[in-house]
Amino acid sequence: MMQNKFNDRSTAGRIIRQIKYLSEDKRIKIMHVCGTHEQTITKHGLRSLLPENIEVVTGPGCPVCITPAKEIDEAVYLAGKNIVAIYGDMLRVPGTAISLAKKKANGGDVRVVYSPVEAVDIAIKNPDREVIFFAIGFETTAPMTAQILQKAPPENFSILCSHRLIPPALDFLLKEGIGIDGLIDPGHVSTIIGVRPYEELSRKYHLAQVIAGFEPLDVLMSIYMLIKQIRNDEAKVENEYTRSVTYEGNTIAQGMMSKVFKADSREWRGLAVIPLASLTLRKEFENFDARKKFEIPPPSDETRNQECRFCANVIKGTGRPKDCPNFGENCTPDKPIGACMVSTEGTCSIAYRYRHISLSP
């Protein structure tokens, strides 16, 4: 279509000049909560183009990074006797003892799928085996899991539900106080949930928010819009990504989610148990719940592997990869210690990959 127009260098220059002018050297901290936004910002070196007084940090926006190690342990356990279908990003993430990649190397049956539809296909083709889909991700992947469950998948199919919800997690972080002046809301989560769920946060915390797309100009424009709001002491939710996000969002997808799932309170890796920021299956769909179908032993704390303690700061946006003593030294994408380095959308992995482009990792 016209994606390249959202990539135009001279418009970028104009936006950046306005950001400089409007921010008047005032220190402004902006958070985004999406791995794909981090990818755009770092790949295009946007941090180095912004004036020094504007700081852009990452929040808990990588679903792989916030999936707790003990939920990976559950998948590792299930892959011992059954087929476990996963999104590729989950393969290398360490559990408390090993990753799914290691389990696969040790003979576990772990299969990477692009879509949950492929996981159901595996179950259809293997009627004598149990197939478990490791259902991770935010509101962008939860409706798809809901859709396949509503289509009556075979009896040998179930899911390990690890879906998480963005707005309650933002509420939790803002309540805790993370010292941000503005928030860039994730464009594709918002494509599903719309604008409304963020409005309460603006009211409650007097916070400027802009829903942004993923081209470099989308991100720069959202920063400009935030700075305008902050300068005028406004706290509203603006939508920069109108070519995909509507006020109501995708109501069909929302309907699928609410029919199949209900909110639950589970841990987020690097954070804590966040009230009502996770999804679990409703009673009518319990027969597809791998946690009910199989007896999964509780994880033992003794097997806890070394984990990067700084990941929590990166996930909360209180620290950047360059502040971590492990970053690029003993923690690299080839030999990751923490979850932020494992996923291709993890903040540390992105910072490492583009370290030669970006001046501030």
Instruction: Give the interface with another protein as residue ranges (CB under 8 A).
Output: 1-3, 5-6, 11, 14-15, 18, 21-22, 34-36, 39, 61-64, 87, 89, 114-118, 137-138, 140-141, 143-144, 147, 186, 188-189, 191-192, 214, 217, 221, 240, 242-245, 250, 252-253, 256, 343, 345
Residue 190 CB, nearest approach to another protein (Å): 10
Task: Decide whether 77 or 279 has the Cβ nearer to another protein.
Answer: 279
Task: Decide whether 38 or 181 has the Cβ nearer to another protein.
Answer: 38
Residue 15 CB, nearest approach to another protein (Å): 7
How many Cα atoms sit within 13 Å of 296 on the Cβ side? 22
Task: Decide whether 39 or 77 has the Cβ nearer to another protein.
Answer: 39
Phi and psi of 101, rounded to 5°? -60, -45
Residue 322 CB, nearest approach to another protein (Å): 23
Residue 360 CB, nearest approach to another protein (Å): 23
C-alpha–C-alpha distance, residues 105 and 7, integer Å: 42
C-alpha–C-alpha distance, residues 182 and 222, integer Å: 10
Task: Decide whether 195 or 217 has the Cβ nearer to another protein.
Answer: 217
Contact 260, 266 (CB under 8 A): no
Residue 139 CB, nearest approach to another protein (Å): 9
Phi and psi of 126, rounded to 5°? -125, 65
CA-nearest of 187, 320, 227, 229 to 30 is 227
Task: Decide whether 58 or 140 has the Cβ nearer to another protein.
Answer: 140
CA-nearest of 197, 195, 177, 165 to 33 is 165
Contact 309, 53 (CB under 8 A): no
C-alpha–C-alpha distance, residues 242 and 221, integer Å: 13
Residue 303 CB, nearest approach to another protein (Å): 27
Task: Decide whether 249 or 299 has the Cβ nearer to another protein.
Answer: 249
Beta strands 54-58 and 28-32 are parallel
